[in-house]
């Protein structure tokens, strides 16, 4: 009698996929229902991460446009709590610091800004009056919603430029209208667009430096100096400003970075999402339990098939592989559906809010990887049970 | 005739009993000790709980034999078939199959042995639902290492051989009981096993389909297949060239009706 070498033939990848999907193809409804848990879990996680990443991308885009290279110098508190003043020539001195590109200054005035003289003086509408120099607009990277910015020509006449909030509050919609300041009418020569980095300017009415001095009793001391430097020199400039502005009392000068609040917001964007991510994780876990449950039922139902395959020469390993593959396919399908759903949800959110659509690749990869891990874990126990099944018991008629 | 040669086991001998000198011819010497497909010596199977399903069974099946294992319910026929088919191991005694002592083989090697040498037919068919007759038959070759296209080609030949060439794409629920059993037989023989084991193959069929299935087994045997059929039906057993009678786990009679061949 010829004796053949006995070593089991291994299944090719296509055959593994084929036997692994056989159970799923005959029960599509069960596949949908048991993959649903995983799909919901992954969709939640992708949407949570995607929405926060989209919001963050929008903030960063905004920061990019506004620039993070602007600093504001203002008078601090004096040693004894008294209000100190910045020297009149300090804007020029700041402009001479290495790396500084643009400088602008404002000086606070006390007069109220009203629509007409008939409105009582107390009703300021929260609008502050400031003297502004010509360089301010460029330093802020601001633009005009209408009219023109203060210049040498209109700065000498009683003309005023309104921040967009002030214009709204005063009910001014176009240049050429008049407002009542310090006992006389000023002509609105321009209205500014919003300035996210300088909300205090949005709420101001700005008059030219010479006009403020002549008509409104401005003492010429700036209260805020805005400067923009090269990106590389921001830190050096920040260190130099106090000594440059007030060499004797550098501690009287306070320097702030208006973009830092936005930067901090961008950095913390997504912190609140941990809770939602946790919820997604729980859904994922429940989905995994659902898959394990389905697999156990599948093994019980297909005892005969397992016995038959063993009788046809399947090794224990091949039976295990079949059921782990089935479980992987089940959870992988759920994962794919979840990725599509989560990305779609993010898209809807982004499109409706007019923000960029960002679904981080690490979230997609991580989510899919998680489903594969869950699929393996959920399928392992049922698969081992299937492989351990005695072929004779499996073949017994129920 | 191509399909026929595909189906016959590894070493097809002459299919007629004309030459008494041919050592592989079962009619000349059905239990030729030089070439047994299966040899059982003192096989005992005791289940935990004290039930001894088999008690010291000696059995030898030569190449190209067709035998019936017959006995009352609970006598140990299925147990014997499982042990011959290496689905189960005896608690005592030796089983040699296709030259391999199965006691020395690991579960992996036993699986390979089944894939290469044994085909099973069950009373309840055990077809995979939802896939076509042809794919069901091709499953019989899944663990053989043959490429998929070749498996499907051989499956078509095997279905043709059992007379179901026109039912290739029918799924199990679209087939009659007799047709299902013929698909199951095609699946068992598609790998050209040395030994075909059938446990009550007609048990779930009416007498006409049962007769057709038995005729198919006869035909396969004439082409050289070695077949053991379990039955509790003495009438069916009587049609086969050899009958091994079992009672209470022991072989009580081993009758050859040589004239039948
Ligand atoms: N897994 C098992 N555990 C314990 N006892 C078993 C087991 N399988 C079978 N038996 C016992 O072994 C004996 C033989 O069983 P077997 O299935 O081989 O009988 P059989 O001849 O095939 O009967 P039937 O014609 O009804 O199919 C019976 O008494 C049965 O109860
Ligand atoms: Mg039985």
Query: Does A301 have pLDDT greater than 50?
Result: yes
Ligand 1, from B76, B88, B91, B203: best to mutate by most atoms within 8 Å of Cβ?
Answer: B76
Q: What is the pLDDT of residues A208-220, one digit of tens each?
A: 988 888 888 899 8
Query: What mean pLDDT do residues B10-34 have?
Result: 42
Q: How confident is the model at residue B3 (pLDDT cuts 50, 70, 90)?
A: very low
pLDDT score of B29:
44
Q: Which H or E run includes A183?
A: none
Spatial neighbors of B64 by CB under 8 A, at least 6 apart, are B9, B13, B24, B25, B26, B221, B224, B225, B226
The Cα A18–Cα A34 span in angstroms is 20
pLDDT score of A78:
66
Ligand 1 centroid to A92 CA: how many Å?
A: 106
The Cα A37–Cα A283 span in angstroms is 6
The Cα B252–Cα B56 span in angstroms is 11
* Binary contact (B98, A4; C-beta < 8 A): yes
* Binary contact (A1, B114; C-beta < 8 A): no
Residue that terminates a domain, selected from A229, A258, A287: A258
pLDDT score of B56:
94
The Cα B53–Cα B165 span in angstroms is 41
Spatial neighbors of A253 by CB under 8 A, at least 6 apart, are A73, A74, A75, A76, A86, A241, A242, A245, A246
* Binary contact (B116, A4; C-beta < 8 A): yes
Ligand 2 centroid to B74 CA: how many Å?
A: 7
Q: Are residues A207 and A303 in the same domain?
A: no
Chain B residues touching A317 at Cβ < 8 A: 108
Atom of ligand 1 nearest to the CA of B232: 25
Query: What mean pLDDT do residues A310-325 have?
Result: 95
Q: How confident is the model at residue A249 (pLDDT cuts 50, 70, 90)?
A: confident
A4 located within any domain: no
Distances (CA, A) of A83 to A59, A74, A77, A86: 36, 11, 6, 10
DSSP label at residue A84: P
- Identify the CA nearest to A155 among candidates A177, A134, A180, A176: A134
A233 — contact with chain B (CB < 8 Å)? no
A301 — contact with chain B (CB < 8 Å)? no
* Binary contact (A9, B143; C-beta < 8 A): yes
Query: Does A302 have pLDDT greater than 70?
Result: yes
Q: Are residues A274 and A135 in the same domain?
A: no
pLDDT score of A245:
85
Ligand 2 centroid to B89 CA: how many Å?
A: 17
Chain B residues touching A3 at Cβ < 8 A: 98-100
Q: Are A91 and A243 in contact (CB under 8 A)?
A: no
Query: What mean pLDDT do residues B233-259 have?
Result: 89
The 3-state DSSP composition of chain B as helix, strand, coil percent (nearest 5) reads 35, 25, 40
Query: Does A251 have pLDDT greater than 90?
Result: no
3-class SS at A116? coil
How close B28 comes to chain A (CA, Å)?
18
Q: Are A39 and A347 in contact (CB under 8 A)?
A: no
Strand partners, B36: B62
How many other C-beta atoms lie within 10 A of the C-beta of residue A235? 11
The Cα A324–Cα A318 span in angstroms is 10
A8 located within any domain: no
Q: Are residues A145 and A100 in the same domain?
A: yes
Phi, psi values for residue A114, rounded to 5° = -130, 160
A2 located within any domain: no
Residue nearest to atom 22 of ligand 1 (CA): B78
pLDDT score of A354:
86
* Binary contact (A2, B85; C-beta < 8 A): no
Identify the residue with better confidence: A213 or A66: A213
- Identify the CA nearest to A162 among candidates A197, A195, A190, A137: A190
DSSP label at residue B258: G
Chain B residues touching A395 at Cβ < 8 A: 87, 122, 126
Query: Does A376 have pLDDT greater than 90?
Result: yes
Residue that terminates a domain, selected from A235, A258, A281: A258
Q: Are residues A149 and A279 in the same domain?
A: no
Atom of ligand 1 nearest to the CA of B246: 21
CATH topology of domain B63-88+106-256: Rossmann fold (3.40.50)
Q: What is the pLDDT of residues A27-47, one digit of tens each?
A: 889 999 999 999 999 999 999
Chain B residues touching A10 at Cβ < 8 A: 145
Q: How confident is the model at residue B20 (pLDDT cuts 50, 70, 90)?
A: very low
Atom of ligand 1 nearest to the CA of B72: 25
Domain count, chain A: 2
Average model confidence (pLDDT) for chain B? 85
pLDDT score of A2:
53
Q: How confident is the model at residue A110 (pLDDT cuts 50, 70, 90)?
A: confident
Q: Which domain holds residue A138?
A: 69-258
pLDDT score of B22:
42
Atom of ligand 1 nearest to the CA of B49: 4
Q: How confident is the model at residue A189 (pLDDT cuts 50, 70, 90)?
A: very high
Q: What is the pLDDT of residues A9-20, one digit of tens each?
A: 888 899 999 989
Q: How confident is the model at residue A394 (pLDDT cuts 50, 70, 90)?
A: confident
Give B68's Cβ-side CA count (13 Å radius): 26
Query: Does B242 have pLDDT greater than 60?
Result: yes
Query: Does B9 have pLDDT greater than 70?
Result: no
Query: Does A292 have pLDDT greater than 90?
Result: yes
Query: Does B84 have pLDDT greater than 80?
Result: yes
Q: What is the pLDDT of residues B85-130, one digit of tens each?
A: 999 999 999 999 988 999 999 999 999 999 999 999 998 999 988 8
A311 — contact with chain B (CB < 8 Å)? yes
Interface-testing mutation among B142, B171, B172, B193, with chain A (most A C-beta atoms within 10 A): B142
- Identify the CA nearest to A87 among candidates A225, A227, A226: A225
3-class SS at B194? coil
pLDDT score of A271:
60
How many interchain CB pairs under 8 A, A with B?
Answer: 112
* Binary contact (A3, B98; C-beta < 8 A): yes
Query: Does B257 have pLDDT greater than 60?
Result: yes
Of A9, A19, A22, the CB nearest to B144: A9
* Binary contact (B139, A318; C-beta < 8 A): no
Per-domain residue ranges of chain B: 1-30, 63-88+106-256
Query: Does A273 have pLDDT greater than 80?
Result: no
* Binary contact (A311, B120; C-beta < 8 A): yes
Q: Which residues line ligand 1 (CB under 6 A)?
A: B 47, 49, 51, 53, 71, 73-79, 232
**Both tokens of residue A352?**
């409706």
Q: Which H or E run includes A180?
A: strand A178-181
Task: Give contacts of A 354-393 with B, CB under 8 A.
Answer: 390-392
**Both tokens of residue B235?**
């009438």
A5 located within any domain: no
The Cα A253–Cα A222 span in angstroms is 12
Q: Are residues A329 and A343 in the same domain?
A: yes
The Cα A324–Cα A329 span in angstroms is 9
Task: Scan for tokens 């063993």, then name that residue.
Answer: A310
Atom of ligand 1 nearest to the CA of B47: 4
- If you measure CA to CA, which chain A residue comes closest to B33? A1
**Both tokens of residue B59?**
């059995």
CA angle B131–B132–B134, rounded 5-degree value: 125
- If you measure CA to CA, which chain B residue comes closest to A1? B35
pLDDT score of B167:
93
Lowest mean pLDDT among A85-89, A305-309, A327-331: A85-89
Q: What is the pLDDT of residues B35-62, one digit of tens each?
A: 789 999 999 999 998 889 999 999 999 9
Q: Which residues of A299-331 are buried (b: 16+ CB within 10 A; e: fewer)?
A: beebbbbbbbbbbbbbbbbbbbbbbbbbbbbbb
Query: What mean pLDDT do residues A163-190 have?
Result: 90
Interface-testing mutation among A5, A6, A317, A321, with chain B (most B C-beta atoms within 10 A): A6
pLDDT score of B6:
35
Atom of ligand 1 nearest to the CA of B52: 12
Percent of all residues in chain A with a pLDDT value above 70, rounded to a whole number: 95
Task: Scan for tokens 């910045």, then name that residue.
Answer: A86
Q: Are residues A318 and A334 in the same domain?
A: yes
* Binary contact (A26, B108; C-beta < 8 A): no
Average model confidence (pLDDT) for chain A? 88
pLDDT score of A81:
67
Chain B residues touching A4 at Cβ < 8 A: 98, 116-117
The Cα B181–Cα B60 span in angstroms is 27
The Cα B205–Cα B233 span in angstroms is 13
Residue nearest to atom 30 of ligand 1 (CA): B74
**Both tokens of residue B201?**
């193959």
Distance of CA A380 to the CA centre of its chain: 40
Chain B residues touching A22 at Cβ < 8 A: 128, 130-131
Chain B residues touching A307 at Cβ < 8 A: 126
Q: Are residues A232 and A279 in the same domain?
A: no
A3 located within any domain: no
Of B11, B85, B128, the CB nearest to A305: B128
Q: Are residues A90 and A207 in the same domain?
A: yes
A263 located within any domain: no
Percent of all residues in chain B with a pLDDT value above 90, rounded to a whole number: 70
Chain B residues touching A398 at Cβ < 8 A: none
Of A15, A312, A315, the CB nearest to B108: A315
Spatial neighbors of A77 by CB under 8 A, at least 6 apart, are A83, A84, A252
Q: What is the pLDDT of residues B124-176, one digit of tens each?
A: 999 988 889 999 999 999 999 999 999 999 999 999 989 999 999 999 999 99
Torsion angle defined by CA atoms of residues A191, A196, A200 and A205, in that order, rounded to the nearest 10 degrees = 0
Q: Are residues A246 and A133 in the same domain?
A: yes
- pTM of structure: 0.75
Q: How confident is the model at residue B241 (pLDDT cuts 50, 70, 90)?
A: very high
């Amino acid at each position: 009698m010829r004796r053949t070498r006995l070593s089991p033939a291994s299944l090719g990848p296509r055959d593994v996929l084929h036997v692994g999907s056989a159970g799923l193809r005959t029960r599509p409804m069960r596949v949908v229902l048991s993959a649903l848990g995983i799909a919901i879990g992954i969709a939640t996680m992708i949407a949570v991460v995607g929405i926060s990443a989209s919001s963050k991308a929008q903030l960063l885009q905004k920061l990019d446009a506004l620039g993070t290279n602007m600093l504001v110098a203002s008078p601090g508190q004096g040693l004894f709590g008294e209000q100190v003043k910045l020297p009149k020539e300090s804007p020029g001195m700041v402009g001479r610091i290495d790396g500084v590109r643009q400088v602008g200054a404002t000086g606070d005035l006390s007069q109220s800004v009203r629509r007409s003289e008939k409105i009582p003086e107390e009703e300021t509408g929260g609008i502050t009056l400031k003297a502004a120099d010509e360089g301010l607009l460029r330093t802020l990277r601001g633009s005009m919603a209408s009219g023109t910015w203060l210049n040498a020509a209109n700065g000498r006449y009683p003309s005023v430029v309104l921040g967009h909030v002030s214009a709204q509050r005063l009910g001014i919609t176009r240049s050429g209208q008049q407002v009542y300041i310090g006992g006389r009418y000023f002509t609105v020569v321009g209205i500014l667009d919003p300035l996210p980095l300088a909300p205090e300017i949005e709420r101001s009415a700005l008059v030219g430096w010479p006009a403020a001095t002549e008509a409104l009793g401005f003492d010429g001391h700036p209260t805020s100096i805005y400067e923009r430097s090269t990106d590389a020199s921001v830190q050096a400039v920040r260190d130099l400003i106090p000594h440059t502005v007030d060499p004797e009392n550098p501690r009287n000068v306070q320097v702030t970075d208006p973009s830092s609040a936005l930067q901090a917001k961008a950095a913390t964007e997504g912190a609140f999402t941990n809770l939602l991510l946790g919820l997604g994780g729980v859904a994922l876990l429940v989905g995994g339990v659902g898959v394990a449950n389905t697999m156990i039922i599948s093994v019980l139902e297909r005892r005969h098939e397992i016995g038959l395959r063993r009788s046809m020469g399947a090794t224990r390993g091949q039976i295990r592989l079949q059921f782990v593959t089935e479980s992987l396919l089940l959870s992988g399908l759920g994962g794919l559906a979840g990725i599509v759903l989560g990305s779609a949800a993010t898209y809807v959110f982004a499109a409706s809010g007019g923000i960029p659509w960002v679904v981080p690749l690490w979230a997609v990869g991580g989510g899919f990887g998680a489903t594969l891990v869950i699929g393996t874990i959920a399928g392992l126990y049922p698969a081992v049970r299937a492989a351990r099944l005695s072929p004779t018991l499996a073949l017994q008629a129920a | 005739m191509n399909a026929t040669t595909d189906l016959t086991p590894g070493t097809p001998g002459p299919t007629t009993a004309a030459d008494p000198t041919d050592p592989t011819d079962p009619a000349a010497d059905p239990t030729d000790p030089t070439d047994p497909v299966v040899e059982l010596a003192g096989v005992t199977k005791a289940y935990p709980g004290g039930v001894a399903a088999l008690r010291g069974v000696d059995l030898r099946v030569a190449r190209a034999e067709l035998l019936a294992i017959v006995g009352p319910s609970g006598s140990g026929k299925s147990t014997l078939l499982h042990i011959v088919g290496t689905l189960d191991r005896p608690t005592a005694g030796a089983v040699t199959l296709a030259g391999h002592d199965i006691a020395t083989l690991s579960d992996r090697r036993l699986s390979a042995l089944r894939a290469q040498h044994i085909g099973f037919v069950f009373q309840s068919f055990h077809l995979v639902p939802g896939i076509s007759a042809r794919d069901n038959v091709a499953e019989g070759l899944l663990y053989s290492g043959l490429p998929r296209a070749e498996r499907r080609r051989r499956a078509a030949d095997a279905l043709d051989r059992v007379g179901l060439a026109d039912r290739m794409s029918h799924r199990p629920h679209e087939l009659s009981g007799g047709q299902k059993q013929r698909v199951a037989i095609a699946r068992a023989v598609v790998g050209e096993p040395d030994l075909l084991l059938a446990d009550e193959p007609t048990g779930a069929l009416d007498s006409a389909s049962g007769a057709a299935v038995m005729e198919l087994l006869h035909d396969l045997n004439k082409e050289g297949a070695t077949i053991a059929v379990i039955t509790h039906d003495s009438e069916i057993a009587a049609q086969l060239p050899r009958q091994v009678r079992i009672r209470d786990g022991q072989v009580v009679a081993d009758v050859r009706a040589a004239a039948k061949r």
